[in-house]
Amino acid sequence: MDRDWMSANRLTVKYREGVDFFLEFSAKNADNPDLVHCPCLKCGNMERMKIAQIREHLFKNGTLTMDDPGDYDDDFALWGQSIGGESESDPAAPELEPDPDSQPKKKNGRGAYKGLKHIKNRSEGILLEVEYNQWGQCVGDTANELVSQIGLYARRNLPLAYNDWRKVPMEFKNLLWEYIKSMFKLGPEAKHSTLKTAGRRWKD
């Protein structure tokens, strides 16, 4: 994956995908995922914190970027060193799928985002088919995945400053809808149920 996301608008899908990609890489390669250097503009790789906190910082403060290509490469290499793994410059590393048997068991909770499959699908224009029953409800494994992705996006990208889902600006809800459509084959009639699901899982 290219590094243009680091200078992209923080409200775009490209930036979110880049952040997800980096955090997934960090979680898989860090010696201690609870203490990873934060590459946001404020921390500048000087502070260590949890993956969830780093994600919040990257959206709040933006990420380090360099005008000089050499510095840019060095900066990304520093991320690889800071998490205890190889540099991201190794093109094969990000493509590896995690081996379930080799991964340490995690406690219940949000944990690290496992979204490489969806990032790959989006980059290739692959949309997952959603099956509906006679009552218009999503069913099957894809339905579970759809609900899961809606919940993940809502919890990680929508502002928590509002006490009522109805008060969350439509701008954020539309971004959620566009993001979900980039992964699943959905018609316009599914927008209402998608946002309804997001409203239920927004602060879970």
pLDDT digits (tens, 9 = 90+) for 105-133: 444 444 444 455 666 666 677 888 888 77
Q: Of 10, 9, 2, 13, whose CA–CA distance to 180 is shortest?
A: 13
What pLDDT, in 10s, does the model give residues 57-97? 888 877 765 333 333 333 344 444 444 433 333 333 333 33
Helix, strand or coil, per DSSP, at residue 40: strand
Residue 156 predicted with pLDDT over 80: yes
Q: Does an H or E element contain 156, and which? A: helix 140-157
| Whether 142 contacts 135, CB under 8 Å | no
- For residues 49-58, one letter each, b for 16 or more C-beta atoms within 10 angstroms of the residue's C-beta and e for the rest, the string is bebbbbbebb
What dihedral angle (degrees, nearest 10) is formed by the CA atoms of 140, 123, 36, 52? -40
- pLDDT of residue 173 exceeding 90, the answer is yes
Residue 177 predicted with pLDDT over 90: yes
* CA distances for 171 relative to 28, 77, 137, 153, 174, angstroms: 33, 35, 26, 14, 5
The rounded distance, in Å, linking the Cα atoms of 76 and 72 is 6
- Segment 13-40 shows an average pLDDT of 79
What's the chain's average pLDDT? 71
- Stated pTM of the model: 0.45
Return d(Cα 27, Cα 2) in angstroms, integer. Answer: 19
Instruction: Please say whether the beta carbons of 179 and 121 come within 8 A.
Output: no
- DSSP, res 96: P
Average pLDDT over every residue of 125-151: 81
